[in-house]
Amino acid sequence: MIRAVITGVAGRMGSTLARMVRDQQDMKVVGGTERKGTAPIGLDVGAVAGIVTLDVPVMDDLARALERGQGQLVIDFTSAESSLEHARIAAERGIPLVIGSTGFSPQAKSEVARCAKKVAIVMSPNMSVGVNLVIKVARELAQVLGESFDVEILESHHRMKKDAPSGTAFRLAEEVAAVLKRGPSIF
């Protein structure tokens, strides 16, 4: 049984992750966190996520949540700033981490890479197999079409999306730009 701690558990993605982990036969939600001073602190993770009560309180400190639930995995889809701090904590404790947050500066990406030398970290702006296949195909298209073509990436998403352009669009642009040996121009 993999004991997972979900960060940002009261958010749309955090709640979804809590439901998904709860539905896995080989996983269990043993912790959930939210930002200090927010309303969900102290409430039950299951209640906050809109599922059955799990008898797991929402905490404002990842290290304490890991200790309390004897966490073996952290799943983090919060923000670049929070995810970086969570990477440091996970690395210190030797707990693997999945990061789905976006908006990392080059320095923050480097710091996550340093943490990944101490502990397994999976980091992607989009965890969808289909989207990652699109990124791979776009890279291959750029190789075949080469310098004589211009590339434009357009995206649309729901109005509640926090980051626009999205981390997925940035990743797609980075991959194509790297193949074409151009800097991505995103605005």
Residues 141-161 have pLDDT tens digits of: 999 988 888 888 888 877 777
CATH 3.30.360.10: which residues of the chain? Answer: 129-180
Residue 186 pLDDT greater than 60, yes or no:
no
pLDDT recorded at residue 178: 86
Query: Which residues, listed in sequence order, are joined to residue 2 by a DSSP beta bridge?
Result: 27
Residues 6+ apart with CB under 8 A from 21: 4, 6, 27, 28, 29, 75
CATH topology for the 2-123 domain:
Rossmann fold (3.40.50)
Locus of tokens 């320095």: 107
pLDDT tens column, 104-152: 989 999 999 999 999 999 999 888 899 889 889 999 999 998 888 888 8
Q: Kindly give the interhelix angle for 167-180 and 129-145, rounded to the nearest 10 degrees.
A: 30
Residue 55 pLDDT greater than 50, yes or no:
yes
Residues 6+ apart with CB under 8 A from 159: none
Burial 50-86 (b: 16+ CB within 10 A, else e): ebeebebbbbeebbebbeebebbbbbbbbbbebbbeb
Catalytic entry in 109, 136, 157, 162: 157
Question: Across residues 25-39, what is the average pLDDT?
Answer: 96
pLDDT recorded at residue 187: 47
Give the pLDDT band (50/70/90) at residue 73: very high
pLDDT recorded at residue 135: 87
CATH 3.30.360.10 fits 129-180, yes or no: yes
Catalytic entry in 109, 136, 161, 162: 161
The torsion angles phi and psi of 145, rounded to 5 degrees, stand at -75, -35
157 given a catalytic annotation:
yes
pLDDT recorded at residue 90: 98
Residue 185 pLDDT greater than 70, yes or no:
no
Question: Across residues 87-102, what is the average pLDDT?
Answer: 97
Question: Across residues 16-41, what is the average pLDDT?
Answer: 96
CATH 3.40.50.720: which residues of the chain? Answer: 2-123
CB under 8 Å, gap of 24 or more: what pairs does 159-167 form? 160/12, 163/102, 163/103, 166/102, 166/125, 166/126, 167/101, 167/102, 167/103, 167/125, 167/126
C-beta separation of 19 from 50 below 8 A: yes
The residue ranking higher by pLDDT, 78 or 125, is 78
